[in-house]
Amino acid sequence: MLLAPRGELPLANAHDIVLCRQHVRRLAQEINFSLVDQTKFVTAASELARNAVIYGGGGRMLWELVESGSRRGVRLDFVDEGPGIANLELAMTDGWTSGTGLGMGLTGAKRLVNEFEIESTLGSGTRVSITRWR
Amino acid sequence: MPPQSKLSAVLRKRRDTIMAQWTQEQQREIGAARARLSQEEITRQSSQFLDLLVQAAQRTGVEDIAVGEWKEVRDFLDGLSRERVLSGFASDETATFILSLKRPIFDALREDSNGDADKLVADVWTATVLLDKLGLYTIKSFQRTREEVISRQQQELLELSTPVVKLWDGILALPMIGTLDSARTQVVMESLLQKIVETESQIAIVDITGVPTVDTLVAQHLLKTVTALRLMGAECIISGVRPQIAQTIVHLGVDLQGVTTKANLADALALALRRTGIEFKKQ
Amino acid sequence: MERIPILRMGEFLLATIQVEMHDQLALRLQDDLTAAIARHGSRGVLIDISALEIVDSFMGRMIADISGMARILDAKTVLVGMQPAVAITLVELGLSLPGIATALNVERGMQLLRTALESHGAASAPR
């Protein structure tokens, strides 16, 4: 294994989104995801990283190589201390229909990964966690 | 002397005896499987492993096999497990590689203990814990590889059951037979799109004559395929649309987004040929 | 300053995206393309994404925006060379980029543009 099993990357600006994508790509390759699965996972990470930077006022991505039985995978947590999402349910359906902004990123990302969890409190921030298994 | 350096010292000092006993035990345990593993192979693998084991134990001790210094040992066990999976061994037969090393090591430790029972117990315990960890690692690695092999075989089976056929220059056909679920759709999309790139085709005819039912989910899967094709600049024609399916699609309110549908493959081919500017003339 | 080069091919413009697009670069491309369309009276724009391994919703929106701007300037946009893995991902993401023409490669894209222009009547003479 060439990479450390876990770590953290800052998400402060647009350039960080690019670095984040590159790192997630490396992680996906480390676990030997198929090309399509790599693409899906990196794209999901890009969406969530962008959300953290643009809507969350900046944040960070925590990553971890995970195992469940004999399956291996990658887990990413996107954390920001931004304004939070007022109505999660609405955000996740609204964005989908309007095709722009926050909601699109969330519902889209959810379809690209195996596990998706989101916690958000108004005024304290958001945490989105995604996992993809090989 | 701390237990770990004691272990590596004993491994080095009594290597030959341990090797002899160990390879003998492996031969005996694997029994009927002997035909799959020659004496030379067993000796070679055992020898290599012992070297790596001694190295790692010397460098950093035997407490934690997840650290970097044990990587070569882990890699070796991954390689061994992989070989055994591909040769058709069972997981316990594979773990035997490690577990049959216990007896020879315990014997060696006892020879070296000079009658100090407490020390012997401590040394044996250290050795047992280490070998159990390595044994578990081997089994886990074996299971992982086996699941990868199975999943790859399933993939290949799926691909074989939906072959992409080149009907003419620039025209591909994909006869779908059987239920269209999301796993199948993924495989279909991947192979179809890949073929489009390889053959530089403009039109893909997806024939659903052999798809028994078309419900909302199936319709969605078809739509995904159609959309992906469009994004790449290729056109999709769906053929084999029976009257019932046409009714279902309308009742479900599915929007086919301007995809052309035809009742049978022949009509679809005729259309595709026209669209690619090809004309056939009877002699 | 980093920019995506825009090639002029007769009546058409070709922008080949080969690097990781960060936000500023994307906005700069929009500016440069719209300026070039206006300056040359271009009737068609080809956006070549055959080197892009990731297209997220931001990129998708950017491409849609460029297409919209081009249309207002009476130019047609064709997106060429999308990689299979990207197409599959975009579909899963829910982005179908409706209203944007697509082609397998630059050559086909040019054919598409020429055919589209012919059917629209005489093309305006390039300045």
Secondary structure of chain A in the HEC alphabet? CCCCCEEEEEECCHHHHHHHHHHHHHHHHHCCCCHHHHHHHHHHHHHHHHHHHHCCCCEEEEEEEEEECCEEEEEEEEEECCCCCCCHHHHHHHHHHHCCHHHHHHHHHHHHCCEEEEEEECCCEEEEEEEEEC
Strands B203-210 and B235-239: parallel
Between A88-98 and A101-112, two packed helices, what is the crossing angle to 10 degrees?
Answer: 90
CA distance B117 to B99: 23
CA angle B259, B263, B269 (to 5 degrees): 75
Percentage with pLDDT > 90 across chain B: 39
For residue C73, the SS3 value is: coil
Mean pLDDT, rounded, of chain A: 86
Residue B223 has pLDDT above 70, yes or no: yes
On whether any CB of chain C is under 8 Å from the CB of B122, the answer is no
Report residue A14 as tokens: 């647009």
Residue A29 has pLDDT above 90, yes or no: yes
pLDDT confidence tier of residue A3, bands split at 50, 70 and 90: low
Which residue among B71, B143, B186 sits closest to A70, beta carbon to beta carbon? Answer: B143
Q: Phi then psi for B159, rounded to 5 degrees?
A: -65, -40
CA distance A45 to A39: 10
CA neighbor of B169 nearest in space, from B269, B47, B31: B269
Strands B235-239 and B260-262: parallel
One-letter identity of residue C29: L
Residue C121 has pLDDT above 90, yes or no: no
Tens-place pLDDT, residues B239-273: 998 888 888 888 877 777 678 999 999 999 999 99
Tens-place pLDDT, residues B77-107: 999 999 888 888 888 888 989 999 999 999 9
**Contacts (Cβ under 8 Å, ≥6 apart) of A34:** none
On whether any CB of chain B is under 8 Å from the CB of C94, the answer is no
Residue A10 has pLDDT above 60, yes or no: yes
Sign of CA dihedral A109, A111, A113, A115: positive
Tens-place pLDDT, residues B103-134: 999 999 998 888 888 888 988 999 999 999 99
Which residue among C22, C61, C89 sits closest to A100, beta carbon to beta carbon? Answer: C61
For residue B162, the SS3 value is: coil
If you average pLDDT over residues B33-46, what whole number do you get?
A: 79
Mean pLDDT, rounded, of chain B: 87
Residues of C in contact with B190 (CB under 8 A): 84, 88
Looking at residue B93, its pLDDT comes to 85
pLDDT confidence tier of residue B220, bands split at 50, 70 and 90: confident
CA distance C62 to C51: 17
pLDDT confidence tier of residue B5, bands split at 50, 70 and 90: low
pLDDT confidence tier of residue B38, bands split at 50, 70 and 90: confident
Residues of C in contact with A43 (CB under 8 A): 54-56, 89, 93
Between C23-40 and C57-72, two packed helices, what is the crossing angle to 10 degrees?
Answer: 20
**Contacts (Cβ under 8 Å, ≥6 apart) of C107:** none
Residue C124 has pLDDT above 70, yes or no: no
Test C57 with A47 for CB contact under 8 angstroms: yes
For residue B214, the SS3 value is: coil
Test A36 with B147 for CB contact under 8 angstroms: no
Looking at residue C71, its pLDDT comes to 94
Looking at residue A1, its pLDDT comes to 46
CA distance B150 to B159: 14
Test B196 with C84 for CB contact under 8 angstroms: yes
Which residue among A21, A104, A112 sits closest to C89, beta carbon to beta carbon? Answer: A112
On whether any CB of chain B is under 8 Å from the CB of A111, the answer is no
Test B143 with A72 for CB contact under 8 angstroms: no
* Least confident window among A80-94, A109-123, C41-55, C79-93: A80-94
Tens-place pLDDT, residues B159-188: 777 789 999 999 999 998 888 888 888 888
Looking at residue B61, its pLDDT comes to 80
Looking at residue A99, its pLDDT comes to 45
* Least confident window among A92-106, A114-128, C38-52: A92-106
Sign of CA dihedral B154, B155, B157, B158: positive
CA distances from B277 to A17, A35, B168, B245 (A): 45, 35, 12, 30
Residues of C in contact with B164 (CB under 8 A): none
**Contacts (Cβ under 8 Å, ≥6 apart) of C71:** C77
Test B190 with C92 for CB contact under 8 angstroms: no
Looking at residue B1, its pLDDT comes to 53
If you average pLDDT over residues A50-65, what whole number do you get?
A: 92
On whether any CB of chain A is under 8 Å from the CB of B34, the answer is no
Looking at residue A98, its pLDDT comes to 44
If you average pLDDT over residues A110-130, what whole number do you get?
A: 92
CA angle C109, C111, C112 (to 5 degrees): 65
If you average pLDDT over residues A6-23, what whole number do you get?
A: 93
CA distance C115 to C46: 14
Looking at residue A2, its pLDDT comes to 56
Region of B257 (left: φ > 0; alpha: ψ -120 to 50; beta: rest) is: left
One-letter identity of residue C62: M
Tens-place pLDDT, residues C57-68: 888 989 999 999
**Alpha-carbon dihedral B257, B260, B263, B269, rounded to 10 degrees:** -150
* Residue for token pair 């590159």: A22
Residue C127 has pLDDT above 50, yes or no: no
DSSP per-residue letters across C77-107: EEEE---HHHHHHHHHHT---TT-EEESSHH
Burial class (CB in 10 A: 0-12, 13-18, 19+), B55: middle
Tens-place pLDDT, residues C10-52: 899 999 998 777 878 888 999 999 999 999 999 999 999 999 9
Which residue among B200, B228, B234 sits closest to C91, beta carbon to beta carbon? Answer: B228
